[in-house]
Amino acid sequence: MRNLFLVLSFFLLNALYGQNIVYLEYFLDSDPGAGNANSIAITPAPTIEVNYNVDISGLGDGFHTLFIRARDEFGNWTFIHQNHFYKDRIPVDALPDIVYLEYYIDADPGEGKATNVPITKGSVVEKSFTANLTGLSSGMHILFVRVKDETGNWSIIHQKPFSKESINMDLPDITGIEYFFTKDDFVSDTTVVTSFTPNDSIDVTFIADLSALSVDATYNMHVYVIDEKGVKSLAYTHEVTVLLTGIDELTLFPQKYELSQNFPNPFNPVTQIKFSIPKTSRVTLTVYNALGQKMVDILDKEFKPGFYDVKWNSSGFASGVYFYRLRSKDFVSTKKMILLR
């Protein structure tokens, strides 16, 4: 049982012989003497309007009297205004536990006949779940959610509109790779790489042409892929520094940790994840589901500075949204990917 206490609000309008009222006070039941009661902040004026909440938490249940009086700028007190009131305790029953949660999409099958979502019962329930959209057509739909408490009463229905879209998984083959470097106002010529077998997913290692770049300078390297329809897509951008490591030999080293978006995305069942490491570090690459639950460690080992890529085969995993996280001692980055069967 809980008790709700009444807090009394009052309105006072008073004028005292045309003089400014400079002080206002109130007391409950017994008079402590003029000037010794509870003061109320006011702006001096001949007429005072007050709307004030009086704390009655220390009073017992039953009838009481609120007294109000004011003093003018010459020290004269008004007569005492009074207001009778009654304080009572209102019992409030504890909230019943929520014991059942269900959802449906578009059409209501009836209470208790929708899709059940397992929960731990309680007066307050916080739950994340993935709704099954199998069989729904593309376009706008409405998700409805309701709960039932331990007394058998159903809640109001909560609803959320959403749109379902079908993503074409017939990806065109990648037929070319092109890259170029930028630094401030400098833009290098674009180089095209075609020395690989076209496919909708490729794993290519190539040596970049650095002849137009300055030694000991930092550039941004931009890499695009070109599909069989001639459409170009940005694969990744890396900040790199050109260093002289031997006679007539230039090497690229990344200047910062970076995790790129997986490709392709959406994917089925294999996708490629690229990342860069600026210094020797122990690195983990982990996949989580939409609820934040760890699914698998793709990598967990030490890497030297450089650019890396890894393929993840999602065979055995259900369609849905997943997150992959790259973590080292000095860096954490997370990105979203979509698996579509």
**Does residue 216 have a pLDDT over 50?**
yes
Q: Which of 225, 255, 285 is the last residue of a domain?
A: 255
Residues 262, 339, single domain; the answer is yes
Could you read off the pLDDT of 266-317 as tens digits, one per residue? 888 899 999 999 889 999 999 999 888 999 999 999 998 888 889 999 988 9
Nearest of 7, 199, 196, 197 to residue 90 by alpha carbon: 7
Beta bridge partners of 219: 240
pLDDT (0 to 100) of residue 251 = 62
pLDDT (0 to 100) of residue 292 = 86
Could you read off the pLDDT of 62-98 as tens digits, one per residue? 889 999 998 888 888 888 888 888 887 766 667 889 9
Residues 267, 316, single domain; the answer is yes
**Which of the four pLDDT bands, split at 50, 70 and 90, describes residue 13?**
very low
pLDDT (0 to 100) of residue 171 = 72
**Does residue 2 have a pLDDT over 60?**
no
User: What would the mean pLDDT of 36-47 be, rounded to a whole number?
Assistant: 89
DSSP string, 170-230: -PPPEEEEEEEEEETTEEPPPEEE--S--BSS---------TTSPTTEEEEEEEEEEETTS
Residues 235, 192, single domain; the answer is yes
Residues 271, 202, single domain; the answer is no
Number of domains, the chain: 4
Domain limits at 174? 167-255
Q: Residue 223 is part of a domain; what is its CATH number?
A: 2.60.40
User: What would the mean pLDDT of 126-147 be, rounded to a whole number?
Assistant: 90
Residues 47, 73, single domain; the answer is yes
Beta bridge partners of 332: 327
Q: Which of 206, 224, 255 is the last residue of a domain?
A: 255
Residues 17, 44, single domain; the answer is yes
Residues 247, 266, single domain; the answer is no
Residues 11, 72, single domain; the answer is yes
Could you read off the pLDDT of 232-243 as tens digits, one per residue? 888 878 888 887
pLDDT (0 to 100) of residue 249 = 53
**Does residue 246 have a pLDDT over 80?**
no
User: What would the mean pLDDT of 220-237 be, rounded to a whole number?
Assistant: 86
Q: Which of 53, 72, 91 is the last residue of a domain?
A: 91
Rounded to whole angstroms, the Cα distance separating 181 from 239 reads: 9
Residues 283, 220, single domain; the answer is no
Residues 285, 204, single domain; the answer is no
Written as six digits, the tokens of 186 are 């400098």
Residue % of the chain over a pLDDT of 90: 37
**Does residue 4 have a pLDDT over 50?**
no
Rounded to whole angstroms, the Cα distance separating 252 from 305 reads: 10
Task: Spell out a b/e string for 49-71, using b for 16 or more CB atoms within 10 Å of the CB, else e.
Answer: ebebebebeebeeeebebbbbbb
**Rounded (5°) CA angle 225-231-256:** 35
pLDDT (0 to 100) of residue 92 = 61
Burial of 94 (C-beta count, 10 Å sphere; 0-12/13-18/19+): exposed
Most confident listed range (19-23, 43-47, 175-179):
175-179
Could you read off the pLDDT of 90-123 as tens digits, one per residue? 666 678 899 999 999 999 999 999 999 999 998 8
Rounded to whole angstroms, the Cα distance separating 282 from 209 reads: 30
pLDDT (0 to 100) of residue 5 = 38
Residues 159, 197, single domain; the answer is no
Written as six digits, the tokens of 242 are 């050109």
Written as six digits, the tokens of 182 are 């930028």
Residues 245, 232, single domain; the answer is yes
pLDDT (0 to 100) of residue 169 = 57
